[in-house]
Chains A and B, each alone.
Chain A
Amino acid sequence: MNWTIFHQQIFPIRHKLYRFALRITGSAHEAEDVVQEVLERVWKSADEQTASVQNWEAWCMTLTRNRSIDKTRTQTQRRALPLDSLSAHSAAEPTPAQETELRDMAARVRRLMEALPEKQRLVMHLRDIEELSYEEIAAVLDITLDQVKVNLHRARKTIREKLLKTEISIPFNP
Protein backbone atom coordinates (compact mmCIF):
# COMPACT_ATOMS: atom_id res chain seq x y z
CA MET A 1 0.00 0.00 0.00
CA ASN A 2 1.20 3.40 -0.96
CA TRP A 3 1.96 5.50 2.11
CA THR A 4 0.50 8.68 0.64
CA ILE A 5 -2.83 7.08 -0.20
CA PHE A 6 -2.99 5.50 3.22
CA HIS A 7 -2.11 8.73 4.97
CA GLN A 8 -4.45 10.95 2.97
CA GLN A 9 -7.43 8.74 2.20
CA ILE A 10 -7.58 5.79 4.55
CA PHE A 11 -6.40 7.04 7.93
CA PRO A 12 -8.77 10.06 8.04
CA ILE A 13 -11.87 7.86 7.64
CA ARG A 14 -11.06 5.73 10.68
CA HIS A 15 -13.87 7.32 12.71
CA LYS A 16 -16.36 6.56 9.99
CA LEU A 17 -15.20 2.95 9.90
CA TYR A 18 -15.43 2.84 13.68
CA ARG A 19 -19.04 4.08 13.71
CA PHE A 20 -19.99 1.56 11.06
CA ALA A 21 -18.31 -1.28 12.95
CA LEU A 22 -19.98 -0.05 16.14
CA ARG A 23 -23.37 -0.14 14.41
CA ILE A 24 -22.85 -3.75 13.37
CA THR A 25 -21.08 -5.20 16.40
CA GLY A 26 -22.70 -3.02 19.06
CA SER A 27 -19.49 -3.13 21.05
CA ALA A 28 -16.96 -0.31 21.25
CA HIS A 29 -14.16 -2.76 21.89
CA GLU A 30 -15.11 -4.98 19.00
CA ALA A 31 -15.43 -1.94 16.76
CA GLU A 32 -11.96 -0.75 17.67
CA ASP A 33 -10.54 -4.18 16.92
CA VAL A 34 -12.34 -4.26 13.60
CA VAL A 35 -10.96 -0.87 12.55
CA GLN A 36 -7.47 -1.85 13.57
CA GLU A 37 -7.64 -5.10 11.66
CA VAL A 38 -9.10 -3.44 8.58
CA LEU A 39 -6.44 -0.75 8.52
CA GLU A 40 -3.69 -3.30 9.01
CA ARG A 41 -5.06 -5.34 6.18
CA VAL A 42 -5.31 -2.32 3.90
CA TRP A 43 -1.78 -1.23 4.79
CA LYS A 44 -0.33 -4.64 4.08
CA SER A 45 -2.30 -5.20 0.90
CA ALA A 46 -0.26 -5.68 -2.24
CA ASP A 47 -0.43 -3.10 -5.00
CA GLU A 48 -1.97 -5.65 -7.37
CA GLN A 49 -4.85 -6.12 -4.93
CA THR A 50 -5.60 -2.41 -4.74
CA ALA A 51 -4.93 -1.53 -8.38
CA SER A 52 -8.61 -1.72 -9.29
CA VAL A 53 -9.86 0.15 -6.22
CA GLN A 54 -11.41 3.46 -7.25
CA ASN A 55 -13.32 4.41 -4.14
CA TRP A 56 -11.09 3.78 -1.13
CA GLU A 57 -13.78 4.74 1.34
CA ALA A 58 -16.34 2.32 -0.07
CA TRP A 59 -13.70 -0.39 -0.21
CA CYS A 60 -12.73 0.15 3.43
CA MET A 61 -16.37 0.25 4.46
CA THR A 62 -16.92 -3.09 2.74
CA LEU A 63 -13.93 -4.60 4.55
CA THR A 64 -15.26 -3.17 7.80
CA ARG A 65 -18.68 -4.65 7.19
CA ASN A 66 -17.27 -8.09 6.44
CA ARG A 67 -14.94 -8.06 9.41
CA SER A 68 -17.68 -6.81 11.74
CA ILE A 69 -20.06 -9.52 10.58
CA ASP A 70 -17.34 -12.13 11.17
CA LYS A 71 -16.91 -10.79 14.69
CA THR A 72 -20.59 -10.85 15.51
CA ARG A 73 -20.86 -14.39 14.24
CA THR A 74 -18.19 -15.55 16.62
CA GLN A 75 -19.78 -13.92 19.60
CA THR A 76 -23.24 -14.50 20.90
CA GLN A 77 -23.38 -11.23 22.74
CA ARG A 78 -25.21 -8.75 20.56
CA ARG A 79 -25.51 -5.01 20.70
CA ALA A 80 -25.52 -4.03 24.30
CA LEU A 81 -24.06 -0.61 23.90
CA PRO A 82 -24.16 1.52 27.01
CA LEU A 83 -26.58 4.34 26.51
CA ASP A 84 -24.05 7.01 27.30
CA SER A 85 -21.38 5.69 24.99
CA LEU A 86 -22.63 7.89 22.20
CA SER A 87 -22.30 11.25 23.81
CA ALA A 88 -19.19 10.16 25.67
CA HIS A 89 -17.28 10.10 22.39
CA SER A 90 -19.03 13.08 20.93
CA ALA A 91 -16.81 15.88 19.71
CA ALA A 92 -19.38 18.57 20.52
CA GLU A 93 -19.44 19.95 24.02
CA PRO A 94 -22.97 21.01 24.89
CA THR A 95 -24.11 22.40 28.22
CA PRO A 96 -25.12 19.86 30.89
CA ALA A 97 -28.82 20.39 30.18
CA GLN A 98 -28.37 20.07 26.45
CA GLU A 99 -26.15 17.10 27.01
CA THR A 100 -28.83 15.27 28.95
CA GLU A 101 -31.42 16.13 26.37
CA LEU A 102 -29.20 15.10 23.51
CA ARG A 103 -28.27 11.88 25.24
CA ASP A 104 -31.91 11.00 25.84
CA MET A 105 -32.85 11.72 22.26
CA ALA A 106 -29.83 10.02 20.82
CA ALA A 107 -30.31 6.99 22.99
CA ARG A 108 -33.94 6.70 21.99
CA VAL A 109 -33.23 7.08 18.29
CA ARG A 110 -30.38 4.65 18.62
CA ARG A 111 -32.65 2.10 20.26
CA LEU A 112 -35.21 2.56 17.51
CA MET A 113 -32.57 2.07 14.86
CA GLU A 114 -31.19 -0.97 16.60
CA ALA A 115 -34.61 -2.54 16.56
CA LEU A 116 -34.69 -2.36 12.76
CA PRO A 117 -33.87 -5.41 10.64
CA GLU A 118 -30.14 -5.49 9.89
CA LYS A 119 -30.31 -4.42 6.26
CA GLN A 120 -32.60 -1.49 7.02
CA ARG A 121 -30.45 -0.48 9.96
CA LEU A 122 -27.23 -0.49 7.94
CA VAL A 123 -28.76 1.30 4.96
CA MET A 124 -30.13 4.01 7.22
CA HIS A 125 -26.81 4.32 9.03
CA LEU A 126 -24.83 4.68 5.82
CA ARG A 127 -27.26 7.21 4.40
CA ASP A 128 -28.34 9.32 7.37
CA ILE A 129 -25.17 9.24 9.42
CA GLU A 130 -22.34 8.62 6.97
CA GLU A 131 -24.08 10.40 4.09
CA LEU A 132 -23.15 7.91 1.40
CA SER A 133 -24.80 7.97 -2.01
CA TYR A 134 -27.20 5.18 -2.95
CA GLU A 135 -24.56 3.74 -5.27
CA GLU A 136 -21.95 3.67 -2.52
CA ILE A 137 -24.36 2.02 -0.11
CA ALA A 138 -25.20 -0.62 -2.72
CA ALA A 139 -21.49 -1.31 -3.20
CA VAL A 140 -20.68 -1.48 0.51
CA LEU A 141 -23.58 -3.75 1.39
CA ASP A 142 -23.43 -5.67 -1.87
CA ILE A 143 -27.09 -5.14 -2.69
CA THR A 144 -28.93 -3.54 -5.61
CA LEU A 145 -29.88 0.12 -5.87
CA ASP A 146 -33.55 -0.82 -5.59
CA GLN A 147 -32.87 -2.73 -2.41
CA VAL A 148 -31.11 0.32 -1.01
CA LYS A 149 -34.10 2.55 -1.72
CA VAL A 150 -36.67 0.07 -0.46
CA ASN A 151 -34.77 -0.59 2.75
CA LEU A 152 -34.19 3.08 3.40
CA HIS A 153 -37.84 3.89 2.85
CA ARG A 154 -38.95 1.11 5.20
CA ALA A 155 -36.43 2.07 7.83
CA ARG A 156 -37.48 5.72 7.89
CA LYS A 157 -41.14 4.80 7.90
CA THR A 158 -40.70 2.52 10.89
CA ILE A 159 -38.66 5.10 12.77
CA ARG A 160 -41.26 7.75 12.12
CA GLU A 161 -44.11 5.57 13.34
CA LYS A 162 -42.24 4.62 16.46
CA LEU A 163 -41.26 8.20 17.19
CA LEU A 164 -44.89 9.24 16.99
CA LYS A 165 -46.02 6.31 19.09
CA THR A 166 -43.54 6.65 21.88
CA GLU A 167 -43.51 10.39 22.06
CA ILE A 168 -41.54 11.74 24.96
CA SER A 169 -41.46 15.24 26.20
CA ILE A 170 -38.46 17.06 24.92
CA PRO A 171 -37.90 20.47 26.36
CA PHE A 172 -38.16 23.02 23.59
CA ASN A 173 -37.50 26.67 23.80
CA PRO A 174 -40.60 28.80 23.27
Chain B
Amino acid sequence: MKNKPDIPDLLSRYWEGETTLEEERLLKAFFSTDPIPEQYRQEAELFRALRSEQSVQMPAGREMRIAPRPAYRLSWRAAAASVALLLGAGIWWMNRQPLAPDTPVALVAPENKTAQPTATTSAVTAPEMEKEKTAQTPPPSVPKVSGRRPPSTVHRPPSTVNEDTYEDPEQALEEIKAALALVSNKINKGKKEIGKGLQEVEAVDILFKKKKEISG
Protein backbone atom coordinates (compact mmCIF):
# COMPACT_ATOMS: atom_id res chain seq x y z
CA MET B 1 0.00 0.00 0.00
CA LYS B 2 1.29 3.41 -0.95
CA ASN B 3 1.78 6.13 1.61
CA LYS B 4 -1.08 8.52 2.07
CA PRO B 5 -0.64 11.37 -0.43
CA ASP B 6 0.49 14.69 0.99
CA ILE B 7 -2.68 16.53 0.04
CA PRO B 8 -1.71 20.06 1.20
CA ASP B 9 1.53 19.86 -0.76
CA LEU B 10 -0.17 18.42 -3.85
CA LEU B 11 -2.86 21.08 -3.68
CA SER B 12 -0.47 23.98 -3.39
CA ARG B 13 1.48 22.68 -6.36
CA TYR B 14 -1.73 22.08 -8.27
CA TRP B 15 -2.80 25.70 -7.90
CA GLU B 16 0.63 26.77 -9.11
CA GLY B 17 0.36 24.50 -12.12
CA GLU B 18 3.30 22.37 -11.04
CA THR B 19 1.72 18.96 -10.56
CA THR B 20 2.18 16.03 -12.89
CA LEU B 21 -0.74 14.24 -14.52
CA GLU B 22 -0.28 11.38 -12.10
CA GLU B 23 -0.47 13.69 -9.10
CA GLU B 24 -3.56 15.36 -10.50
CA ARG B 25 -5.20 11.95 -10.85
CA LEU B 26 -4.33 11.27 -7.22
CA LEU B 27 -6.08 14.46 -6.19
CA LYS B 28 -9.19 13.58 -8.18
CA ALA B 29 -9.26 10.13 -6.62
CA PHE B 30 -8.73 11.50 -3.11
CA PHE B 31 -11.52 14.04 -3.35
CA SER B 32 -13.98 11.61 -4.81
CA THR B 33 -14.05 9.55 -1.63
CA ASP B 34 -16.11 10.30 1.44
CA PRO B 35 -15.77 11.76 3.95
CA ILE B 36 -13.95 14.89 2.89
CA PRO B 37 -12.27 16.99 5.60
CA GLU B 38 -14.08 20.25 6.14
CA GLN B 39 -11.12 22.42 5.13
CA TYR B 40 -11.12 20.98 1.59
CA ARG B 41 -14.66 21.83 0.66
CA GLN B 42 -13.87 24.00 -2.35
CA GLU B 43 -11.18 21.72 -3.62
CA ALA B 44 -13.47 18.73 -3.32
CA GLU B 45 -16.11 20.58 -5.27
CA LEU B 46 -13.70 21.30 -8.06
CA PHE B 47 -12.14 17.85 -8.32
CA ARG B 48 -15.45 16.06 -8.12
CA ALA B 49 -16.82 18.25 -10.83
CA LEU B 50 -13.78 17.64 -13.02
CA ARG B 51 -14.12 13.90 -12.52
CA SER B 52 -17.77 14.06 -13.32
CA GLU B 53 -17.05 15.93 -16.55
CA GLN B 54 -14.66 13.19 -17.61
CA SER B 55 -17.55 10.79 -17.86
CA VAL B 56 -19.61 12.99 -20.18
CA GLN B 57 -20.28 11.03 -23.34
CA MET B 58 -21.85 11.56 -26.67
CA PRO B 59 -25.54 10.69 -26.23
CA ALA B 60 -26.17 7.03 -26.96
CA GLY B 61 -27.78 6.37 -30.30
CA ARG B 62 -26.59 9.70 -31.62
CA GLU B 63 -23.14 8.59 -32.52
CA MET B 64 -21.79 9.80 -35.75
CA ARG B 65 -22.44 8.54 -39.18
CA ILE B 66 -19.74 8.02 -41.67
CA ALA B 67 -20.82 7.80 -45.26
CA PRO B 68 -20.40 4.14 -46.21
CA ARG B 69 -18.23 5.16 -49.10
CA PRO B 70 -15.49 2.63 -48.52
CA ALA B 71 -17.98 -0.15 -49.10
CA TYR B 72 -19.02 1.39 -52.41
CA ARG B 73 -15.43 1.83 -53.38
CA LEU B 74 -14.76 -1.85 -52.85
CA SER B 75 -17.89 -2.84 -54.75
CA TRP B 76 -17.05 -0.72 -57.75
CA ARG B 77 -13.59 -2.09 -57.90
CA ALA B 78 -14.87 -5.62 -57.69
CA ALA B 79 -17.51 -4.91 -60.32
CA ALA B 80 -14.96 -3.38 -62.68
CA ALA B 81 -12.62 -6.31 -62.21
CA SER B 82 -15.43 -8.79 -62.81
CA VAL B 83 -16.55 -7.04 -65.97
CA ALA B 84 -12.97 -6.95 -67.25
CA LEU B 85 -12.50 -10.62 -66.53
CA LEU B 86 -15.78 -11.60 -68.15
CA LEU B 87 -15.04 -9.46 -71.19
CA GLY B 88 -11.64 -11.04 -71.51
CA ALA B 89 -13.09 -14.51 -71.18
CA GLY B 90 -15.80 -13.67 -73.71
CA ILE B 91 -13.38 -12.36 -76.32
CA TRP B 92 -11.21 -15.37 -75.84
CA TRP B 93 -14.21 -17.62 -76.28
CA MET B 94 -15.37 -15.86 -79.43
CA ASN B 95 -11.95 -16.15 -80.98
CA ARG B 96 -11.96 -19.86 -80.45
CA GLN B 97 -15.52 -20.43 -81.69
CA PRO B 98 -14.86 -20.59 -85.45
CA LEU B 99 -13.05 -23.88 -84.96
CA ALA B 100 -15.99 -25.99 -86.04
CA PRO B 101 -15.89 -29.72 -85.39
CA ASP B 102 -15.93 -30.49 -89.12
CA THR B 103 -12.94 -28.30 -89.88
CA PRO B 104 -10.38 -30.23 -91.87
CA VAL B 105 -7.83 -30.09 -89.33
CA ALA B 106 -4.95 -27.97 -88.84
CA LEU B 107 -2.05 -28.61 -90.88
CA VAL B 108 0.06 -27.94 -87.81
CA ALA B 109 -1.61 -30.56 -85.68
CA PRO B 110 1.35 -32.88 -85.23
CA GLU B 111 3.52 -30.07 -83.86
CA ASN B 112 1.30 -28.16 -81.51
CA LYS B 113 3.96 -26.34 -79.59
CA THR B 114 6.07 -25.00 -82.40
CA ALA B 115 3.10 -23.97 -84.45
CA GLN B 116 1.30 -22.02 -81.75
CA PRO B 117 2.44 -18.50 -82.68
CA THR B 118 1.39 -19.01 -86.26
CA ALA B 119 -1.98 -20.28 -85.16
CA THR B 120 -2.62 -17.31 -82.93
CA THR B 121 -1.75 -14.84 -85.62
CA SER B 122 -3.96 -16.48 -88.13
CA ALA B 123 -6.86 -16.54 -85.74
CA VAL B 124 -6.70 -12.83 -85.12
CA THR B 125 -6.42 -11.86 -88.74
CA ALA B 126 -8.78 -14.40 -90.12
CA PRO B 127 -10.75 -12.17 -92.51
CA GLU B 128 -7.56 -10.69 -93.90
CA MET B 129 -6.13 -14.06 -94.55
CA GLU B 130 -9.20 -15.16 -96.31
CA LYS B 131 -8.64 -12.44 -98.89
CA GLU B 132 -4.97 -13.14 -99.16
CA LYS B 133 -5.60 -16.78 -99.60
CA THR B 134 -7.60 -16.27 -102.76
CA ALA B 135 -4.88 -14.12 -104.20
CA GLN B 136 -1.82 -16.10 -103.38
CA THR B 137 -1.05 -19.75 -103.09
CA PRO B 138 0.33 -21.49 -101.30
CA PRO B 139 -0.12 -19.76 -97.91
CA PRO B 140 3.00 -18.71 -96.04
CA SER B 141 2.91 -21.51 -93.57
CA VAL B 142 2.66 -24.22 -96.13
CA PRO B 143 6.30 -24.65 -97.00
CA LYS B 144 7.21 -25.07 -93.37
CA VAL B 145 5.10 -28.12 -92.84
CA SER B 146 4.81 -29.43 -96.35
CA GLY B 147 7.87 -31.54 -95.88
CA ARG B 148 6.17 -33.56 -93.21
CA ARG B 149 2.76 -33.92 -94.70
CA PRO B 150 1.53 -35.17 -97.99
CA PRO B 151 0.47 -32.26 -100.25
CA SER B 152 -3.16 -33.35 -100.11
CA THR B 153 -3.50 -32.46 -96.42
CA VAL B 154 -2.20 -28.98 -97.01
CA HIS B 155 -5.23 -27.98 -98.96
CA ARG B 156 -7.78 -25.96 -97.06
CA PRO B 157 -11.07 -24.68 -98.36
CA PRO B 158 -11.46 -20.87 -98.17
CA SER B 159 -14.10 -21.10 -95.41
CA THR B 160 -11.82 -22.82 -92.97
CA VAL B 161 -8.86 -20.57 -92.66
CA ASN B 162 -8.71 -20.62 -88.89
CA GLU B 163 -5.97 -22.65 -87.48
CA ASP B 164 -5.75 -23.44 -83.83
CA THR B 165 -3.75 -25.18 -81.22
CA TYR B 166 -6.27 -27.94 -80.68
CA GLU B 167 -6.96 -30.71 -83.04
CA ASP B 168 -9.73 -32.23 -81.05
CA PRO B 169 -12.78 -30.01 -80.39
CA GLU B 170 -13.49 -31.95 -77.22
CA GLN B 171 -10.06 -31.13 -75.95
CA ALA B 172 -10.56 -27.47 -76.82
CA LEU B 173 -13.85 -27.45 -74.98
CA GLU B 174 -12.20 -28.94 -71.93
CA GLU B 175 -9.57 -26.23 -72.04
CA ILE B 176 -12.20 -23.52 -72.22
CA LYS B 177 -14.01 -25.04 -69.29
CA ALA B 178 -10.83 -25.14 -67.27
CA ALA B 179 -10.03 -21.51 -68.09
CA LEU B 180 -13.51 -20.34 -67.19
CA ALA B 181 -13.35 -22.32 -63.95
CA LEU B 182 -10.13 -20.52 -63.12
CA VAL B 183 -11.72 -17.13 -63.79
CA SER B 184 -14.73 -18.07 -61.69
CA ASN B 185 -12.50 -19.22 -58.88
CA LYS B 186 -10.63 -15.91 -58.86
CA ILE B 187 -13.87 -13.92 -58.80
CA ASN B 188 -15.13 -15.99 -55.87
CA LYS B 189 -11.93 -15.38 -53.95
CA GLY B 190 -12.27 -11.65 -54.50
CA LYS B 191 -15.87 -11.75 -53.37
CA LYS B 192 -14.89 -13.47 -50.14
CA GLU B 193 -12.35 -10.78 -49.32
CA ILE B 194 -14.86 -8.05 -50.05
CA GLY B 195 -17.38 -9.81 -47.84
CA LYS B 196 -15.01 -9.71 -44.89
CA GLY B 197 -14.40 -5.99 -45.30
CA LEU B 198 -18.08 -5.30 -45.74
CA GLN B 199 -18.96 -7.04 -42.48
CA GLU B 200 -16.69 -4.69 -40.57
CA VAL B 201 -17.96 -1.62 -42.33
CA GLU B 202 -21.56 -2.63 -41.76
CA ALA B 203 -21.05 -2.88 -37.99
CA VAL B 204 -20.24 0.81 -37.80
CA ASP B 205 -22.72 1.71 -40.49
CA ILE B 206 -25.57 0.50 -38.27
CA LEU B 207 -24.62 3.07 -35.67
CA PHE B 208 -24.50 5.78 -38.28
CA LYS B 209 -27.91 4.96 -39.64
CA LYS B 210 -29.37 5.18 -36.16
CA LYS B 211 -27.95 8.64 -35.80
CA LYS B 212 -29.36 9.66 -39.15
CA GLU B 213 -32.79 8.40 -38.23
CA ILE B 214 -32.83 10.28 -34.97
CA SER B 215 -31.45 13.53 -36.30
CA GLY B 216 -33.73 13.24 -39.30
- A residues whose Cβ falls under 8 Å from a Cβ of B: 3, 7, 11, 14-15, 18-19, 22, 28, 31-32, 35-36, 39-40, 43-44, 86-87, 89-92, 102, 105-106, 108-110, 127-131, 133, 149, 152-153, 156-157, 159-160, 163-164, 167, 170, 172-174
Say if the beta carbon of B21 comes within 8 Å of chain A.
Answer: yes
Contacting pair A39 B45 (CB below 8 A): no
Residues of B in contact (CB 8 Å), total 41
Interface centre among B42, B48, B52, B211 (most CB of A within 10 A): B52
Say if the beta carbon of B1 comes within 8 Å of chain A.
Answer: no
Distance A150 CA – B206 CA, assembled complex (angstroms) = 45
Say if the beta carbon of B57 comes within 8 Å of chain A.
Answer: yes
Contacting pair B14 A156 (CB below 8 A): yes
Contacting pair A108 B49 (CB below 8 A): yes
In the complex, what's the smallest C-beta–C-beta distance from B210 to chain A, in angstroms? 13
Known contacts being A14-B64, A128-B24, A131-B21, is A90 close to B55, with CB within 8 Å? yes
Contact residues in A for B56 (Cβ distance below 8 Å): 15, 18-19, 22, 86, 89-90
Known contacts being A36-B65, A129-B54, is A172 close to B45, with CB within 8 Å? no
Overall SS of chain A's interface? helix
Distance A106 CA – B204 CA, assembled complex (angstroms) = 33
- B residues whose Cβ falls under 8 Å from a Cβ of A: 14-17, 21, 24-25, 34-36, 38, 41-42, 44-46, 48-50, 52-59, 62-67, 69-70, 197, 200-201, 204, 211, 215
Overall SS of chain B's interface? helix
In the complex, what's the smallest C-beta–C-beta distance from A136 to chain B, in angstroms? 10
In the complex, what's the smallest C-beta–C-beta distance from B32 to chain A, in angstroms? 10
Contacting pair B204 A11 (CB below 8 A): yes
Q: Which of A39, A86, A133 is close to B66, meaning CB atoms less than 8 Å apart?
A: A39
Contacting pair A160 B15 (CB below 8 A): yes
Known: A3-B70, A44-B69, A86-B53. 12 other contacts (CB 8 A): A28-B59, A44-B67, A87-B52, A90-B52, A90-B55, A91-B55, A92-B52, A110-B49, A130-B54, A159-B46, A170-B41, A172-B38
Nearest B-chain residue to A38, judged by Cβ: B64
Q: Which of B25, B49, B67 is close to A106, meaning CB atoms less than 8 Å apart?
A: B49
Nearest B-chain residue to A149, judged by Cβ: B17
Distance A106 CA – B54 CA, assembled complex (angstroms) = 11
Q: Which of B25, B53, B70, B197 is close to A19, meaning CB atoms less than 8 Å apart?
A: B53
Q: Which of B15, B53, B63, B65 is close to A129, meaning CB atoms less than 8 Å apart?
A: B53
